[in-house]
Amino acid sequence: MKRKYKRLSFVGLGVLILSAAGSLILFAFKDNIVFFLSPTEITEKFLKNKITAQQRLRVGGLVERGSVTKGVINRFKVTDLNKSILVEFKGLLPDLFREGQGIVAEGRYDNAVFIASQVLAKHDETYMPPEVAEALKKSGKWKPTAGK
């Protein structure tokens, strides 16, 4: 009976120490684990010289309404409703790309333009049939949460 409890406390203690170690590691790598930065974070970090124009970054946010010009080089603004960044992207935009949609762009930032090499659409956690979305828009209960 005694050996059993010894093993039990050994396993319990082991899990406890491991989770403490794990959370410390995750906390230390906090900045590396995030998939993208917001336009506010990018402009702030650029001003503080924490990021350079050579560094590969990802910016995430909503496509600002009325900012999209499509062409060989697509231009649009990505906003977090606080700051916005102009993005230039040469290539095909994903199907879900539209104004107000959440997107993530990968590329470089040089204080004025974000030159993207890839644009990904971010999908939100709401799932509903099109008729329901229409009805919600009509009744004014529509809450755009895309790209939150």
Partner 1 sequence: MFNYFANPFRFLRLTSKLQPITMLVALAAIGLGLFYALVESPPDYQQSETVRIMYVHVPAAWMAMFCYVTIACSSAVALIWRHMLANIIAKSTAPIGASFTFLALATGSLWGKPMWGAWWVWDARLTSMLILFFLYLGYIVLYNAFDDQSRGARAAAILSIVGVINIPIIKFSVDWWNTLHQPASVIKINGPTVHPSMLTPLMLMAVGYMALYFWLLFIRTRAELNINKVRKMLIQQTETH
Interface residues with partner 1 (CB under 8 A) are: 4, 7-8, 11, 14-15, 18-19, 22, 26, 30, 33-36, 60, 93-96, 104, 118-134, 146, 148
CB of 126 to partner 1, least distance (A): 5
CB of 105 to partner 1, least distance (A): 11
Q: Are 65 and 99 in contact (CB under 8 A)?
A: yes
Please identify, using beta-carbon distances, which residue of 131 and 140 lies nearer to partner 1.
131
Please identify, using beta-carbon distances, which residue of 36 and 109 lies nearer to partner 1.
36
Please identify, using beta-carbon distances, which residue of 64 and 105 lies nearer to partner 1.
105
Please identify, using beta-carbon distances, which residue of 27 and 112 lies nearer to partner 1.
27
Please identify, using beta-carbon distances, which residue of 99 and 134 lies nearer to partner 1.
134
CB of 132 to partner 1, least distance (A): 6
Q: Are 63 and 78 in contact (CB under 8 A)?
A: yes
CB of 35 to partner 1, least distance (A): 4
CB of 95 to partner 1, least distance (A): 6
Which residues contact residue 120 at a Cβ distance below 8 angstroms, ignoring those fewer than 6 apart? 94, 103, 104, 105, 106
Q: Are 57 and 108 in contact (CB under 8 A)?
A: yes
Tell me how far apart the alpha carbons of residues 120 and 102 are, in angstroms, rounded to a whole number: 9
Place of tokens 């755009």: 144
Q: Are 93 and 74 in contact (CB under 8 A)?
A: yes
Tell me how far apart the alpha carbons of residues 73 and 119 are, in angstroms, rounded to a whole number: 12
